[in-house]
Structure 1
C-alpha cells in the first residue's frame, strides 16, 4: 500500500478540489490507467482521497499537468460533454529543439493511424484535428511552444508539432532518435478554463519537473506570457 507522501511525490500533486471534481497536476512518465502492475494516476488519486473518481479527459504518459477527475458519473458526463462541444479552453506548453516551418499559426488535418503506436496528419478531413500555436526562441536551439488544441484527438499536439518539423523534446514516439537526450517528454497541460453549473473555473499550473522547463529563459517567457487566453490566437 502506497503512503500518501509517496503518491503525491511520485504520481501527482493536488491543485484544487470541490464538491464536483478534483484537479491534479499529473507527474510526467505516469500512466493514466494502471498497467503492468503499476498504479495509474487515476487509481493513485482514488487511493489518496479514499473515494471513487471518474475520468473526464486523458493525458499521455509523458505529459504532465492539469487533469480533471469527477466525483460522480453525472459530473463526469457533464464535463465530458463540455470537452466534446469544445467549450473547454486548454493551453499546453511544449519545448522542441528544431525550428518549425512556421513560428505561429494553425495546424489542421485529419488524424490517421500510422505504424506501431504512431499517428500522422493527413490532408483529409476525417478525424479532423485543429491546433493553434505560438513559438518563442529560448536560445541554444530550443523553442517554447504555447499550444491551444481546439479538438482533442489522441497524440494531437505531438503529431501537430512533428508535422511542422518540431517534434517535442524527449518524445519517445515522435522524436525517437534524440529522445534519450532529455530527462522527460516536454509536454505540459498548463492552463484550463470552462463554465460548469454557471460557474467559471480557471486553473493554471507551471511545470515543476524538467531541466528545460525550469531553465531561466523558459521561466522568463512564461512570466511574460502569463494568461494564455489573452494571446492573439490565430483565427480558425
Structure 2
C-alpha cells in the first residue's frame, strides 16, 4: 500500500497522475474501478473525486482490505511493526482504569484484529485529549520496547504548533525547569530540581498580533503537560487551556497541535518523517480563513 497526503485542492485523477510513478492513465483508471484507491479510508472510484488539503490518498496493490472507518483519527502509515496516526482534538489517546470511552487505542486495536485476531497495539507515547496531531503506536512488544528504551535517540524531531495568548516579544527562546505533579494531577514548574523531572522546551514565533502568537515548539524532553506548563511560565498560556492560566478560547479547543514527528523505524532503521498542516482555526485569529499550512 502507498499513501500520499494532499497539500492543495485537486481532482483525484490529476493528483494520482502527478504522484504515482510507473502507472499509465489506463492503469490508474483500472485501480479506481476495482476500488483500489481510497481517500481518508473510504474507497473512491470517481476520477473527478474532489480532494482537499490534508486528505490522505491510499493505493492498494494487493488484496483489498475492508474499509476501516475510525472516529476522530486517521491512519497515515501502517506496517508490521508500527502505526502512525493523526488524532483530532477531543479524542482520548487511551482510557485509564475501567473507562469504556472511545479512544484512539481501542479503535486501533479493533482495526488490527480485523486482519489478525491475535494482533496487538502498544502505546508508545500520548497526546492530551484536547491536543491534535501525530501519534506513534507499536504493533509488537519488541517495537514498543525498542522505541521506548531509546526514545531520545529514536525521535529525531518532535515539534508542535501552539496558539498562545498575547504577543510574545522574544522571537525565539528556550525554557528550562523541573516539573512535578500535585495530588490533583496538575503539573507545576520549579526553577530547581527539587525532586522533579527536567523539562526543556524550545520555541520560535511564527506569527503574532497584539492578542495572540503562533509558536513552533520543539521538545528536547517529553514530560506530561510540558508545553502547557512552560507557556504559562512565560506568561503566554495556550488558548483554551483554563487548567494552566488561559482566559481566552477563540477557537473552541486547546490551541496545541503535534505537527511534525520524525523517527527511526524500530525494525528497519529507516528514517520516517510525518508532517501535518497547521489547523485552519489557529490561523483564522490572524485573518487567514483559507490558510492551510
State TM-score, norm by structure 1: 0.80
- Give the one of 129, 138, 141 matched to 1:61: 129
**How far apart, in 1, do the equivalents of 2:154 and 2:146 lie?**
13
- Give the one of 144, 147, 151 matched to 2:214: 144
**How far apart, in 1, do the equivalents of 2:284 and 2:219 lie?**
24
Partner of 2:198: 128
**How far apart, in 1, do the equivalents of 2:164 and 2:290 lie?**
15
2:277 aligned with 1:206: yes
**How far apart, in 1, do the equivalents of 2:288 and 2:139 lie?**
39
Partner of 2:88: 27
- Structure whose CA Rg is larger: 2
Q: 1:102 to 1:68 in 2, by over 3 A?
A: same
Q: 1:68 to 1:218 in 2, by over 3 A?
A: farther
Q: 1:44 to 1:191 in 2, by over 3 A?
A: same
**How far apart, in 2, do the equivalents of 1:217 and 1:20 lie?**
39
Q: What secondary structure, in the 3-state scheme, does the structure 1 residue paired with 2:85 have?
A: strand
Q: Deviations over 1:68-120 (max 9, x none)?
A: 11110000111112314574420101101223363311000100224733212
2:257 aligned with 1:188: yes
Q: Is the 8 A contact 1:95 1:187 kept in 2?
A: yes
- Give the one of 221, 228, 236 matched to 1:166: 236
Q: Deviation of residue 174 (structure 1)? A: 1.1
Partner of 1:18: 79
Q: 1:68 to 1:25 in 2, by over 3 A?
A: same
Aligned length: 215
State TM-score, norm by structure 2: 0.66
Partner of 1:89: 157
Q: 1:91 to 1:138 in 2, by over 3 A?
A: same
Q: 1:193 to 1:156 in 2, by over 3 A?
A: same
Q: What secondary structure, in the 3-state scheme, does the structure 1 residue paired with 2:110 have?
A: helix
- Structure 1: runs of 5 or more not aligned: 224-236
Q: What secondary structure, in the 3-state scheme, does the structure 2 residue paired with 1:116 have?
A: coil
Q: What secondary structure, in the 3-state scheme, does the structure 2 residue paired with 1:160 have?
A: helix
- Structure 2: runs of 5 or more not aligned: 1-66, 114-118
Q: Deviation of residue 140 (structure 1)? A: 5.8
